[in-house]
Amino acid sequence: MDIFIIGIISYLMGAIPFGFILTKIFLKKDIREIGSGNIGATNTLRTGNKIIGYSTLVLDILKAVAPVIYVKIFYQDYIYIASLCAFLGHVFPIWLKFKGGKGVATYLGILFAINFYFGVIFIISWLVTFSISKFSSLSSIIGSASLPIYLLILTQFDHVIFFTIMFILIIFTHRENIKKLKNKEETKTKIY
């Protein structure tokens, strides 16, 4: 399979805006007009409907798992291309004029698809940070930073570049949250 086709299919899978679709169908609302205006799981939780919030989370994870696992099995050399394209699809979905989510759930799906332990490391880092701070954004940033640090400690340098790029992209998608955290204006999140 051509690298271009792998990239396009992965992007289109990642670009499925589940938060937007679920809130439109079940709540008759546009998620982009609620809370932060983000289409991801954290903002869908702000609708007050936990089922839609957690469904968005699961579907945003799975939309990355599907193409990355497929590529991992059949086209191992292109796993990072598929991963990056699925992530960019979520962040810049063609269906919503390239205004998507922050990519954390999609990134989590990528991590589990590449290596189950990477997903576990992210979740542990996220949960520890969240239990202390109650900020989903800070937890996501720390969780994404944990992977390149972990890989550097284990001297698995072949993965470090990709996960460092992903960390930079997570920082980029959370730039507004970082400003709010610095100004003590960030909203704490209730996940239960």
HEC sequence for 41-76: HHHHHCCCCHHHHHHHHHHHHHHHHHHHHHHHHHCH
Whether residue 44 lies inside any domain: the answer is yes
Task: Identify which of 185, 191, 192 has the alpha carbon closest to the alpha carbon of residue 36.
Answer: 185
CB within 8 Å of 120: residues ≥ 6 apart: none
> Which two three-digit tokens encode residue 91?
């962040």
User: Given a cut of 80, is residue 18 above it in pLDDT?
Assistant: yes
Total-model pTM: 0.92
Whether residue 189 lies inside any domain: the answer is no
Whether residue 175 lies inside any domain: the answer is yes
pLDDT bucket at 64, cuts 50 / 70 / 90: very high
Whether residue 190 lies inside any domain: the answer is no
Task: In whole angstroms, give the CA distance from residue 155 to residue 151.
Answer: 6
Domain housing 172:
3-182
Q: Pinpoint the alpha helices (H) of 75-184.
A: 79-91, 104-114, 116-133, 136-153, 157-173, 175-182
Mean of pLDDT over the chain: 92
Whether residue 176 lies inside any domain: the answer is yes
- Residue that has been written with the tokens 């291309």 in this structure: 81
Q: Cβ atoms within 10 A of the Cβ of 183, count?
A: 8
pLDDT bucket at 42, cuts 50 / 70 / 90: confident
> Which two three-digit tokens encode residue 69?
């696992």
What total of structural domains would you count in the chain?
1
